């Protein structure tokens, strides 16, 4: 099949990127009208980072970890503690005061995010030693356990002077500009793509396919698993930090198991092993919840009130859709494929050839 010239694909990508930035700038400019859509887009960008980080682990290395919420909590609390303005700290920590060394500690947002990621990565490094020896579901349950332990420590009264215990942290300054979320998320995802495409990334994929074969090809199993885990934790931490800045106030309940499940379902929806799938999935998941909001409102057709429509119905529909994807469309939206211009081109060509009847299909195509 004919493929596109490389130059054209670059041009198309640049065009798409420029168009996306233009749209975002336009929305940012008319913020009063688009505030709601912008906040959906911001949230999906933040979730996308966490989803791609999970995909790096689950889809590309074959390690099923359920510790996302815990690592996000580490990132979120680091960023929150370092960025809350010093003047407002006494009012945030009004219950038991703030610990001495932290009272004056501040960092600019970028440094706080980086530090949040590094702390998460460091913890991942230590947790990795014991848990990465475990296989499939035991690994999942052990990481889930660690995530709950992290949460318990954050909520513990002994750490009241650091994390403000169960009262949570408030008055976190938001992002200085709306575009910054997309910029940081884009950068994080780009870096993860670089990792996946590097020789290390290929080693990860070899481990996913067959551990024994990979080992006999000279790939250090534990070293590479550890590396994938630490990298994933790093970016999960950053996305947690961004979530804290986005939400402006956090507490330990934000990082319950439900958050991990949300990210897992994003990855499943987008396709386990597809980065563009995860990005698409996080948008669909975040936006889908909002789109389905009309299910929550009472609906009256021709004077008759439709019985099922009331609060909570949308989440039922939403989980039914997810179950349908899990059961009948296990590959998710993208499978293990990536979005590529060549894929679209091939798709269009096929459309052209089969003039008679067009088959509904999805974008995407060639494995890069």
Partner 1 sequence: MSSTILLQHTLTGISLGGAYALIAIGYTMVYGILRLINFAHGDIFMMAGYFMIFAMASMPWFIAIPLVMILTVMLGIAVEQVAYKPLRSAPRMSIMISAIGVSYLLQNLATYLFTALPRGYPEIPYLKKILHIGDVSASLVTIITPFLTVALTFLLIALINHTKLGMAMRAVSRDYETSQLMGIKINRVISATFAIGSLLAFIGSLLYFTDRMTVFPFSGTLPGLKCFVAAVLGGIGSIPGAVVGGFILGIGETVLVAMGYSTFSDAFTFAILIVMLLFRPTGLFGEKVTDKV
Shortest gap between Cβ of 263 and partner 1 (angstroms)?
A: 11
User: 189 or 268: whose CB is closer to partner 1?
Assistant: 268
User: 138 or 222: whose CB is closer to partner 1?
Assistant: 138
Whole-number Cα distances in Å, 365 to 6, 72, 157, 174, 336:
16, 33, 53, 39, 10
DSSP state of 134: S
Residues 6 or more apart from 289 whose CB is under 8 A from it?
A: 314, 315, 318
Shortest gap between Cβ of 11 and partner 1 (angstroms)?
A: 39
Shortest gap between Cβ of 61 and partner 1 (angstroms)?
A: 13
User: 234 or 295: whose CB is closer to partner 1?
Assistant: 295
User: 35 or 305: whose CB is closer to partner 1?
Assistant: 305
Residues 6 or more apart from 366 whose CB is under 8 A from it?
A: 3, 337, 340, 342, 343, 346
| Cα Rg of the chain, angstroms | 22
User: 144 or 280: whose CB is closer to partner 1?
Assistant: 144
| SS3 assignment, position 76 | helix
Shortest gap between Cβ of 311 and partner 1 (angstroms)?
A: 8
Spatial separation of the C-alpha atoms in residues 261 and 93, rounded to whole Å? 31
Shortest gap between Cβ of 141 and partner 1 (angstroms)?
A: 6
> In angstroms, how far apart are the furthest CA atoms of the chain?
74
Whole-number Cα distances in Å, 355 to 265, 348, 350, 359, 364:
37, 11, 9, 10, 20
Shortest gap between Cβ of 178 and partner 1 (angstroms)?
A: 31
User: 58 or 340: whose CB is closer to partner 1?
Assistant: 58
Whole-number Cα distances in Å, 19 to 159, 178, 345:
47, 16, 19
User: 11 or 320: whose CB is closer to partner 1?
Assistant: 320
User: 301 or 327: whose CB is closer to partner 1?
Assistant: 327
Q: Which residues of this chain interact with partner 1, rule CB under 8 A?
A: 58, 64, 130-131, 133-134, 136-138, 140-142, 144-146, 148-149, 152-153, 155-157, 257, 261, 264-265, 268, 272, 310-313, 315-316, 318-320, 322-323, 326-328, 330
Shortest gap between Cβ of 70 and partner 1 (angstroms)?
A: 10
Spatial separation of the C-alpha atoms in residues 168 and 159, rounded to whole Å? 12
Spatial separation of the C-alpha atoms in residues 333 and 283, rounded to whole Å? 12
Shortest gap between Cβ of 42 and partner 1 (angstroms)?
A: 24
Question: Measuring CA to CA, which residue among 180, 57, 17, 21 is closest to residue 113?
Answer: 180
Contact yes or no for 285/47 (Cβ under 8 A): yes
């Amino acid at each position: 099949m004919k493929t596109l010239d490389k130059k054209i694909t670059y041009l198309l990508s640049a065009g798409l990127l420029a168009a996306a930035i233009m749209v975002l700038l336009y929305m940012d400019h008319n913020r009063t009208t688009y505030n709601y859509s912008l906040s959906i887009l911001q949230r999906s960008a933040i979730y996308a980072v966490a989803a791609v980080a999970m995909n790096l682990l689950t889809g590309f290395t074959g390690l099923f970890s359920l510790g996302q919420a815990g690592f996000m909590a580490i990132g979120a609390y680091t960023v929150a503690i370092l960025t809350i303005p010093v003047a407002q700290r006494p009012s945030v920590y009004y219950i038991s005061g703030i610990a001495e060394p932290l009272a004056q500690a501040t960092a600019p947002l970028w440094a706080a995010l980086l530090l949040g990621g590094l702390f998460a990565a460091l913890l991942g490094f230590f947790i990795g030693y014991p848990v990465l020896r475990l296989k499939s579901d035991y690994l999942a349950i052990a990481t889930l356990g660690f995530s709950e332990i992290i949460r318990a420590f954050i909520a513990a009264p002994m750490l009241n002077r650091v994390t403000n215990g169960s009262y949570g942290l408030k008055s976190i300054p938001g992002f200085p500009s709306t575009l910054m979320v997309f910029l940081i998320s884009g950068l994080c995802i780009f870096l993860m793509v670089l990792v996946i495409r590097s020789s290390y990334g290929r080693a990860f994929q070899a481990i996913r396919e067959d551990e024994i074969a990979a080992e006999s090809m000279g790939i250090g199993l534990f070293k590479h698993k550890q590396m994938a885990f630490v990298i994933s934790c790093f970016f999960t931490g950053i996305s947690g930090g961004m979530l804290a800045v986005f939400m402006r106030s956090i507490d330990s309940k934000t990082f319950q198991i439900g958050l991990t499940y949300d990210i897992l379902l994003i990855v499943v929806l987008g396709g386990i092993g597809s980065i563009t799938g995860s990005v698409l999935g996080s948008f669909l998941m975040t936006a889908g919840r909002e789109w389905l909001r009309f299910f929550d409102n009472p609906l009256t057709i021709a004077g008759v009130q439709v019985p099922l429509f009331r609060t909570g119905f949308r989440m039922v529909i939403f989980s039914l859709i997810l179950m349908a994807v899990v059961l009948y469309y296990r590959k998710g939206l993208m499978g293990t494929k990536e979005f590529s211009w060549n894929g679209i081109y091939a798709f269009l060509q096929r459309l052209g050839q089969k003039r008679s009847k067009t088959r509904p299909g999805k974008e995407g195509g060639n494995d890069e």
